[in-house]
Amino acid sequence: MDYYFGLLEKAIFIKRENRFRAEIQLDGKVYKAHVPNSGRMAELLVPGAWVWVRKTQNNLRKTPYDLLLVEKDGIMVCLNAHLANDLFAVWLKNGKIPFFRSCTTFYREKTIGQSRIDFLLEFPRYHYLVEVKSVNLVENKTALFPDAPTARGVRHLEELISFCNDNHKAAVAFVVMREDAQEFAPHDQMDPIFGRTLRKASNCGVKILAYKCSVTEKGMEYLEKLPVIL
């Protein structure tokens, strides 16, 4: 297992109050839960859905639980977008991604010029700058990103393009946090600007990668690389 959730409790999703706070029902009582994901996730967070939450260790928080998982059509989906970077770091460390297996070392949240990049990977003859994106939307076996318009995501792609133009190597890695996807594609219907920019990035030399992982109540682990459809 690449990542362990620790002790989770099964609850019922009631409603989402705002982007980062929801109401859940646990053991017949209603609690507030932190939603660690700014995406819409409208197809996942529906009233009555089974969710898995973890109690916080911070007694001063207004949300005593973190909402980590939801069940969708029998598939477990991880909602914590921040874990995509943690998973990617574990995969790099354990050599689970063939494309980056010859990486000698890596750094997280590296500042390059005016930009802060998720990962800087060092290779014997070159460096790779990598942005990681969390994906939890799947339609007809295709993982799609984003599930809401993302000016920030477009800016990240433009930064990667500029790095490639300066003779650096760059990549964007989409981590699909569920196991029912068979391919990845940009969600053009939701954000056509992001889709166009992703194709532009690919044409400029940015490597577009996608990986999926298995998700259970215990944790997550690497499954396989997914085909990217541009």
**Structure confidence at residue 23 (pLDDT):** 96
Hey, what amino acid is at 204?
Answer: C
Q: Is the model more confident about 111 or about 195? A: 195
Largest CA-CA distance found in the chain, in angstroms, rounded:
59
Instruction: For residue 167, give Cα distances in angstroms to 129, 160, 163, 171, 205.
Output: 11, 11, 7, 13, 10
Is pTM beyond 0.85 here? yes
pLDDT above 70: percentage of residues in the chain:
100
Taking residues 110-128, what's their average pLDDT?
86
Give pLDDT, residue 24: 97
Domains of the chain, CATH where assigned? 3-78 (2.40.50.580), 83-225 (3.40.1350.60)
pLDDT of residue 57: 84
pLDDT at 101 over 80: yes
Mean pLDDT, all residues of the chain: 94
Name the pLDDT band for 58 (thresholds 50, 70, 90).
Answer: confident
pLDDT at 164 over 90: no
- Work out the average pLDDT over 58-75: 91
